[in-house]
Amino acid sequence: MAMEEMRDPVSLYNLGVAAVIDNYHCFKHELRILPDNVLFDLYYKLYKEKGLCLLGVEFSDLDVFGRILKITNRRMFLLRSFQALMDHGTRVAKDLISAYGRRCSMCHSYPVSRDATIDLGLRLGGFLSDAGWFAESEKVLLACQDLCQRTEPLVKYWLKLLECCHKLLHSQTAFCHFDEAEITYHLALEVVDRLHAANEQTNLAGLFAEFSVLHFSRSEYDEAYMWSIEALKQVKPGLPTRVTIDVLRQVAKSCVMKREFKRAGLLARQAVCLTKEFFDKDHPKYSDSLLDFGFFLLNFDSIRQCVGIYETALDIRKAIFGKFNLHVAVAHEDLAYALYVHEYSSGRFLKARDHAEKATIIMEKLLPEGHLMLASVKRVKALILEEIALDTMPNNSGTHSLLAEAENLHLSSLKLAMAAFGENNVQTAKHFGNLGRLYQSMKKFQEAETMHLKAIAIKEELLGADDYEVGLSIGHLASLYNYHMKKYKKAEQLYLRSIAISLKMFGESYSGLEYDYRGLVHVYHELEDVEKVAEYTYILNNWKLHRDLHAQQEDLPIDQEETPQAVEDIIRQFFGDDK
């Protein structure tokens, strides 16, 4: 009889729940004899009535919280309640971690409770990860992993260990603990080998997708693509829908980085449709799928649509997780960057700056100093500050201070990326390129050239000479040679190469072509090549027509009435498509 939201205020059940909470101190010792779903409703009512200190005491009891975790059909309400306790400053997460550690220690003396303790650790660690508290999740799952490894060499415990590795790898990767994630990754592979040797068949789609996420996060895109395809091959009817969605999302992202946009669009859109149908549109899983769909749109040059998708995803996360949560910070950062790209030609960067600063505030509050997640948000903020300095504050005394702040942010981001990935990494190359653009703005042209050349060399080695990222860096170096160093012949060759990459990748309506075409017009004007000035002025005007037509023909990013295709049909279509 327990209701999800207890919407009917006059029902006898809801009156009873309200009466118990009104007299909580009289009944608190008897509450735990109630069924789990009724207990959940009482605690949610306590949250709604702002009884956070009392709720914190209840949720800090591991046995109580373990019972609440079993109520999976009202997970959003538990996420809200838990986040409110964390915002309130309670020790609920620390108390649960400590209690779980003690419970694991007791299992060495009382092995009869071991199986239940493993299951509890999997539920608790998974919940903390879903709630955005990755470091706390990692501590629980490491204790659970250790307990699994101390068991007898039986298949049932290997399966538990593999599930633990799956959840642990997710938390470690999301929190950028890549060294620790590498250890978990190899342990998971070892367990898979054990299971194969024992002729134990288990579906590995979700685990392989998590392998892909790890490689993707480290910019190892070939490996990420390979594992994502292996994950998709494991998707079968009857697989949990959550796992299917996660696989579709990750394959889509991997395809984006391999520039297989048709395939990426198919899977990203279907992941959104499937999530909407299975979880509904106010669920955090829907926001996850939207952010990945937005990533596809951003890279596919559908920036305006991407901004709207990111705004929706942020609203969903704020409604569930409030203000100070890493899930919310990531959504702010994604939206800040999309707005920066969207408003690049207009110069209206204040909204982008606001979201970047909100993301920074959240991360600096929740993360230790020097955490790798800060590198990305600092990079985005620096890009925005640079454009504000140049576009809205020309010849203003504030320009110098904004550019200096942007330089500090970029240098800090580069330092963090170098420590995590080394120099020969796409993320590090992006930071070199961003510094190159900044030094160009600061009139430090030799330093700018050095940074651009570094970025190009790294990207070419890792991604190939014709990749989109290479084209971006080539275009930036061309701009430096053209407008500041007067190396017009070099600029011409770089512009032509950048244009060729863009046309091959995106076609004649690609937004980035404008800057290359304008650059060539300027180059030929300086070289006094009248015919080429006329030719590229005509091409630029023709590009504007293509761009306007592209804007008119853009479909709505998501059809709210669209229903997902059968998974078998999606996979058949994916593998049947020509790359």
Q: Which two tokens stand for residue 573?
A: 């279509």
Q: What is the pLDDT of residue 110?
A: 84
Please name the amino acid found at residue 63.
D
Helix 468-483 × helix 445-463 angle, to 10° = 160
Mean pLDDT by 10 residues, the chain (579 residues): 51 87 84 90 91 93 96 93 95 97 90 93 98 98 96 94 98 97 98 96 96 97 97 93 97 96 95 93 95 95 92 97 96 97 86 97 95 95 93 70 94 94 94 96 95 96 93 96 96 96 90 93 95 95 86 65 86 79
Q: Are residues 286 and 212 in the same domain?
A: yes
Q: What is the pLDDT of residue 27?
A: 83
85 found inside a domain:
no
190 found inside a domain:
no
Alpha-helix runs per DSSP H in 343-396: 350-366, 373-391
Q: Are residues 279 and 306 in the same domain?
A: no
Q: What is the largest CA-CA distance in the chain?
A: 91
Q: Are residues 312 and 394 in the same domain?
A: yes
**CA 541 to each of CA 256, 503, 544: distance values in angstroms, whole numbers, following the listed order:** 29, 16, 5
Helix 75-87 × helix 114-130 angle, to 10° = 80
Q: Are residues 461 and 552 in the same domain?
A: yes
Q: Which two tokens stand for residue 361?
A: 């505030």
188 found inside a domain:
no
Q: Are residues 271 and 350 in the same domain?
A: no
Q: Are residues 292 and 327 in the same domain?
A: no
Overall domain count for the chain: 3
Note whether 469 and 221 are within 8 A (CB): no
Query: Is residue 100 classed as helix, strand or coil in its secondary structure?
Result: helix
Supply the pTM of this predicted model.
0.92
Q: Which two tokens stand for residue 49?
A: 């009535």
Helix 155-174 × helix 114-130 angle, to 10° = 20
Residue among 347, 463, 455 nearest 394 (CA): 347
Write the DSSP string, 83-98: HHHHHTT--HHHHHHH
215 found inside a domain:
yes
111 found inside a domain:
no
Q: Are residues 281 and 312 in the same domain?
A: no
Q: Are residues 376 and 282 in the same domain?
A: no
From 410, 444, 467, the end of a domain falls on 410
Rounded CA separation 270/277 (Å): 11
Q: Are residues 550 and 540 in the same domain?
A: yes
Rounded CA separation 338/67 (Å): 41
From 383, 410, 437, the end of a domain falls on 410
Q: Are residues 373 and 353 in the same domain?
A: yes
Note whether 391 and 399 are within 8 A (CB): no
Q: Which domain holds residue 219?
A: 203-300
| Residue bearing tokens 């032509």 | 496
Q: What is the pLDDT of residue 1?
A: 41
Note whether 287 and 316 are within 8 A (CB): yes
Q: Which two tokens stand for residue 368?
A: 């230790």
Q: Are residues 313 and 262 in the same domain?
A: no
292 found inside a domain:
yes
447 found inside a domain:
no
Q: Are residues 288 and 306 in the same domain?
A: no
3-state secondary structure 157-169: HHHHHHHHHHHHH
458 found inside a domain:
yes
From 271, 300, 329, the end of a domain falls on 300
Dihedral of alpha carbons 556, 560, 563, 565, sign: positive
Burial of 186 per CB tally in 10 Å (0-12, 13-18, 19+): exposed
CATH of residue 505's domain is: 1.25.40.10
